[in-house]
Amino acid sequence: MFSRTSPPFISRSAIYIVGGGLLGYGATELLFSSETFQSKALLPVINRYMDVESSQNLALRFASWGFLPKYGSNRKEYPELKCEFLGKSLKNPVGLAAGFDKNGKAIRPLAELSGFGLIEIGSVTPIPNKGNPRPRLFRLEEDEGLINRYGSNSDGVGKVHLRVRSARTEWMENAAILGISLANNMLTDDSMLDYEIGVNYFAPYSDYIVINISPTNARNPTFVGKNGELKKLMQYAKHLLDCSQLESRPRILLKIPPDLSEIEKKNVASLSLDPKNGVDGLIVSDTTSTRPDNLKSENRLEIGGLSGAPLRRISTECVREMYRLTNGQVPIIGCGGISSGADAYEKIKAGASVVQLYSALVFHGFPVVGKVKRELVELLKQDGYTNVSQAVGADHRAR
């Protein structure tokens, strides 16, 4: 039969068959969340031919269409991971950090299909901001890290508010809780007004609101100091929520960088422990401006905030220190360098009630969510814990 068929026909047929087979295989692997396929095959190819910001925008677009692993391990939940946080019931303590969906374009798919227990969008600025010119996001391939100098790029409160309001109209009961990170515009004359706009717009639709001080000069003692601007800002945010008279009031979290001095950390702890300041929890930590000596990647010299695996140790130590300084009385979200169950467990034992990841998605895709949950459960069982909440701050009790 094939001896009478022209070679071009055979070639085209072969291409269609092989191409169709590869597409079918790839779609199956994506839907069923194969960890090996995404981290060893798909993502290396994408990362080779696309810059990191373009690949992230592509991933976000697919997520907004609901094209997430719907039948994979990332969707599996474990009774050991059910927990309470900020007065809300979480299906698991693994969250998506701010930065992946800055403008709220994929809220419901991320909340319903990704497998996260909490998701955070932003940071959102009051006025639309283009941020710094590209390139402004850099992969550190050998180190599994990222350096960003986005410059608080944001669609602005107006557009993001519409997306958030629309997403919250049909919220599934078992979906992740929603946090919204706020930032001030870089050239603002009134930071207090900037955060007021964000709180007023998003309070009715969020489970928690994050005051992200990192875009400002967080290491300025006047800002972080005991009687400085930060205290005024947090008290004002609390006042705004007190006046809102919402039936379901969001909690206020303060996000700090890991580079604060010991005095500044003590000031933040003191501020957080005083109920008059309205701090319901801390996110520890944002990116670091420091560079570990063991970085190998060529992009390590780029200017910006470092995140991912190189941040793991410094952020964990910051979690440990803030838990100690607050006597375990202030809930902490641990963030920085999490890509495995061991990484998450490390931060939980250091004092984090829940954890967040983002950079790991760049290198491992959404299957990493299932991996972290599965490995975390295994580690909890090994140490005799029946629920993740029992392990929070365990390192401090062991001393």
CA 206, 160, 164, 251: dihedral to nearest 10 degrees? 0
- Portion of the chain with pLDDT greater than 70, in percent: 87
Mean pLDDT, all residues of the chain: 90
The pLDDT score that the predictor gives to residue 191 is: 86
Identify the pLDDT of residue 47.
Answer: 76
Secondary structure of residue 203 in the 3-state scheme: helix
Does the domain at 78-397 match CATH 3.20.20.70? Answer given as yes
* Position 94, amino acid: V
Q: Dump pLDDT digits (tens) for 164-213.
A: 999 999 999 899 999 999 999 888 778 899 999 999 999 999 999 999 98
| Pair of tokens at residue 238 | 């609390």
- What Cα–Cα distance (Å) separates residue 344 from each residue in 139, 335, 356, 380, 392? 22, 9, 8, 11, 11
In this prediction, residue 44 carries a pLDDT of 78
Beta strands at 88-90 and 332-335: parallel, antiparallel or unpaired: unpaired
For the segment 10-50, what is each residue's pLDDT rounded down to a tens digit?
Answer: 566 655 554 444 344 344 445 555 677 677 677 777 878 89
Residue range 255-276: mean pLDDT, rounded: 95
User: Mapping DSSP to helix (H, G, I), strand (E, B) and coil, where does residue 28 land?
Assistant: helix
Cβ atoms of residues 155 and 211 within 8 Å: no
Going through the chain in order, the beta strands assigned E by DSSP cover: 83-85, 88-90, 94-96, 118-124, 137-140, 145-148, 177-182, 208-212, 251-256, 281-284, 305-308, 332-335, 354-357
Percent of the chain at pLDDT > 90 equals 79
- The upper half-sphere exposure of residue 140, i.e. CA atoms within 13 Å in the direction of its Cβ, equals 28
Cα(196)–Cα(192) distance, rounded to whole angstroms?
Answer: 6
Local structure of 161: helix, strand or coil: helix
Angstrom CA distances, 271 to 59, 125, 274, 356, stand at: 38, 24, 6, 23
